[in-house]
Each structure stands twice: as C-alpha cells, then as structure tokens.
Amino acid sequence: MSSAVSHQPDGRPRGRGLGLPFPGEPGPANALTDVAGVEVGAVTLVRGDGPLAVGQGPVRTGVTAILPRGRSGVAVPVFAGIHSLNGNGEMTGSHWIAESGRCEGPITLTNTHSVGRARDASVRWLVERAGIGALADAWGLPVAAETYDGYLNDINGFHVTEDDAMAAIDGASPGFPPLGNRGGGTGMICYRFKGGNGTASRVAEAAGRRWTLGVFVQANFGQRDLFSPLGVPAGRLLDVPLPGPKTPKPASDGSIIALVATDAPLLPHQCARLARRVSLGLARTGSIAANGSGDIFLAFSTANAEALAAGPDVPQRLDFLPDAALDPLFEATVQATEEAIVEAMLAADTMTGADGRTVHALPHGPLVDLMRRFGRI
C-alpha cells in the first residue's frame, strides 16, 4: 500500500490507514487525480468567530476547481454524462451535457449562493487565461455545482468572489486533492458529522485492459442514524454530539455533488450510466436521497482527446468499450463513491462557525473500535 493510499500528505490517516477494509484495488493515490491529466485546486476561506453578521462573517466556505484534462488540455472537451438522483440542487452546464454529451472548461464546486460567481469566474478564466477571448465566436457553458453551508458559514454574505474561483482554477494540479474542510467542502456537514471533500479511486479490468476510475465528492448530506459505512450502523452507535442546539437546526438531508473520472474510452451515454451508479455508492453509506437533498452526479472520460480536438470538418474516429464490458467500471464507481464519502468525513476536522455552532468530526478511534466489534477489522 502506497503512503498516499493510507495517509494524507500531512500524515493523517485515511480509511485504509485505519484498517477499514474497503473493497477493490485503489490507484496509486486512491484519488481522482489517479486518472492521468485530471487536476484539482481549491481556495479555502475561514475568517472570524462569534455571532453571525451578514456580510461580515463568520466565514467558513470556499471553492474547488477540477480541470478534466488539466490546464494544458482545457480547450479540449471530454465526453460526459450526468444523473440527478434528487434535484434539489444546481449544476450549471448540465443541459448542454445532456444535449451534446460533452463537458467543456473548468468544473467548480462551492456553496449554494456562490455558484453563479463560480460559473462566471470559469468563463472569465477561459477568456483571460485560456485565450478564448481572442475568438470572435467563443462561448462557454462551464459546470459549477453547489451544496449548502449556511449552518456554519455566512452564506448570505457572498464571500466567495470571482477572484477566489479564478485562484482555485489557477492552482489546480495533478497532486493529491484537498480533502475535508477545504475548498468548496469547508463548511459542509455529512451525516451530521463534519463533512466536505472526499476522494477515492479504483483500477478495473474491462475488455482485456486495466483502466483507472476516480471519484471526488463534496459531501453535505445524510441523517445521523442512517450512517452505515461498510454495513456497520456507526451513526446510531457512535457517541458524538449532534450539531446544535443553537438554531437554525442543520438540515438532515443536505446535498452531495459527485464527479467520476476515468481514462476508459466511454461514449456519453456510457458516462451517464456511470453517473447513475454513484447512487448505489451513496446507498451503501446510508443515503435515502431525502427530499431536500440535491444529489447530482457528473461522469467524464478523458479518452478520445484527439478526436474531440479535431475541427468540425474532419471525420472523427472514436475508441469505446462495448456496453457489455462496463460491469467492472460500474462496480468501481460504487466502491469508490462509498469510500470517497467516508474519506470526506475522516479528513474533516471539528469546526465551529456562525453563532458558535459546532459540528464534530467523525472520531477515528471509536470508529475503528466499532469496526472491530462488527468483525470488519
């Protein structure tokens, strides 16, 4: 097991470092960035303490940026597909993905009331950094998605700026992604423990070759009593205070955005099929896709770059896997989603935010003890 699979760069243990027996073979870093070319960056905003003063803070938020082909390949779209398990949320650009089967430009994740600024920043970045402003007919419909962080954060203060989102895109790299209380995940809550960013990857064999698939989540959903990683009823048995009692009470349903990346050559409808399998990974952790939860997923393939970069008048030839060969990738998606959600919780720290509200982290030691009790370790 590589050090990145078992521990974060700062030395804190990940799930596998704690001995949690997640199924499947992870990639070298057990991360979205195991898919070659994918880059991730983040800007984290943490300022102030005490009573909520709209427009001033406390601030507990941020923005995460994902470049499917990295900065050097930002002009080349990827084949993509989407799935909305429950639509109480926002993902801009989704109509164009459904229509064209393509995702273009940076993908940004932030809080609910900053999604417009993040989307606009992606367009501005494409104009100012990627050079599309020099093209008279240039346009963009980038993806920006959100979950709600208003329990800990001054969400109506609009603290995420276009410059913050631009900086997150500028800072994207192929290194280990920012987990837990960072970027768009800064103020998020998962199963009423501290949530945020999580990631995992799998290596799967399909059609005689080995492919890499990675999942990245911004996790902000779930009822405490339903949390059941690896089939263990941890939410009911762990003695950890619930958020509160200070009002407003945090929503128990919340939202999750999940991104699936793979280097396997997939067509758009196959990407959409992967995105649907994220739902099964959520269910493994205990999600019921509650009424107020925005559960929206995007899957993309980094293959076929040459064909997708070709001009409109050039015949294009594509590689793609047969539909009958996709089962290993379906399984990889389900496995990596479950692990990514737990990773988001394990990486997060206890946070106190607006009006002194505190959300406690998922405790490592008691979780390991519980896993031993149920025979998982």
Banded model confidence at residue 130, pLDDT cuts 50, 70, 90: confident
Residue 251 has pLDDT above 70, yes or no: no
Residue 4 has pLDDT above 80, yes or no: yes
Question: Where on the phi/psi map is residue 198: left (φ > 0), alpha (ψ -120 to 50), or beta?
Answer: beta
Looking up tokens 């070759």, which residue turns up? 209
The number of folded domains in the chain is: 1
What is the overall mean pLDDT for the chain?
A: 95
Q: Which one is catalytic: 149, 154, 253, 295? A: 295
pLDDT at residue 246, rounded to an integer:
55
The question of whether 293 is a catalytic residue gets the answer yes
**CATH at residue 232:** 3.60.70.12
Domain boundaries, position 31:
3-310+319-373
**Burial group, residue 240, by CB count within 10 angstroms (0-12, 13-18, 19+):** middle
pLDDT at residue 245, rounded to an integer:
57
pLDDT at residue 313, rounded to an integer:
78
Q: In Å, how far are 57, 77, 78, 149, 255 from 100, measured between CA atoms?
A: 41, 11, 11, 32, 26
pLDDT at residue 17, rounded to an integer:
98
Q: Which one is catalytic: 94, 201, 287, 293? A: 293
Which amino acid belongs to residue 183?
G
Q: Which one is catalytic: 114, 122, 228, 255? A: 255
| Mean local confidence (pLDDT), 73-94 | 96
Question: Where on the phi/psi map is residue 289: left (φ > 0), alpha (ψ -120 to 50), or beta?
Answer: left
pLDDT in tens, 334-373: 999 999 999 999 999 999 999 999 999 999 999 999 999 9
The question of whether 295 is a catalytic residue gets the answer yes
Torsion angles phi and psi, residue 254, rounded to 5: 60, -150
Banded model confidence at residue 253, pLDDT cuts 50, 70, 90: low
Looking up tokens 């990145």, which residue turns up? 4
Banded model confidence at residue 242, pLDDT cuts 50, 70, 90: confident
Residue 163 has pLDDT above 80, yes or no: yes
Residue 134 has pLDDT above 70, yes or no: no
pLDDT at residue 47, rounded to an integer:
98
Positive or negative, the CA dihedral 109, 353, 292, 178 is positive
pLDDT at residue 137, rounded to an integer:
63
142 vs 110: CA distance, rounded Å = 14
Tokens of 118: 């993040």
Looking up tokens 């164009």, which residue turns up? 96
Residue 248 has pLDDT above 70, yes or no: no
Banded model confidence at residue 249, pLDDT cuts 50, 70, 90: low
| Mean local confidence (pLDDT), 156-172 | 98
Strand 143-147 versus strand 294-301 pairing type: unpaired
